[in-house]
Amino acid sequence: MRPLILASNSPRRRELLAELGYSFRVEPSSFEERERGLSAHDTALAFARGKAEEVFSRFPEAVVLGADTVVSLDGAILGKPKDKEDAARMLRLLGGRTHTVYTGVCVLLRGHREERVEATEVDFFPLTEEVIGQYVASGLPLDKAGAYGIQDGYPLVRSIRGSYTNVVGLPTETVGTMLAAAYGGK
């Protein structure tokens, strides 16, 4: 069986992929994520593809999984915050509103490429300055698209429509189906 490589250093993606029962190793991609004026949907897919292709170029005998998560509010992409002030700004924008989380997924192996984008709508509670301040002070939002993690335990998310694991960073149902196809029905 070809080795599986996760082209991401995200601890959340590692945990979610491990929960699917696959053995894999992590090889972070050196792909540079640069804004290209694409929609959030297309950005998530382009970044996932770029990560997977860069790692696949180094490990052509492997199955490579690339993923990228993008938060979109009113068509604008909210990436990872630059600092605590930027995180607080993003949380203020998201408070009391609905946004969409897109995760692009790309699976590559010799002679096979499959790409998908999962979208989940997320409704936030109205956020007080106290909640925003406590959450930002925890440091948790600083490495996450949109400056939040649904799994972090803070009272941010009122409801979702779609995949919970997509909001965490890897839509496991979608990835499970894609990897099963890549491995011929694991």
Assign 53 to helix, strand or coil: helix
State the DSSP string of 11-36: HHHHHHHHHTT---EE----------
Contact indicator for 66, 8 with CB cutoff of 8 Å: yes
- The reply to whether 123 belongs to the active site is no
Contact indicator for 77, 38 with CB cutoff of 8 Å: no
- 42, 68, 83, 123: the catalytic one is 68
Q: How far apart are CA 74 and CA 116, in angstroms?
A: 22
Residues whose CB is less than 8 angstroms from the CB of residue 45 and which lie 6 or more positions away in sequence, other chains included = 68, 104, 106, 115, 117
Q: Which residues are catalytic?
A: 68
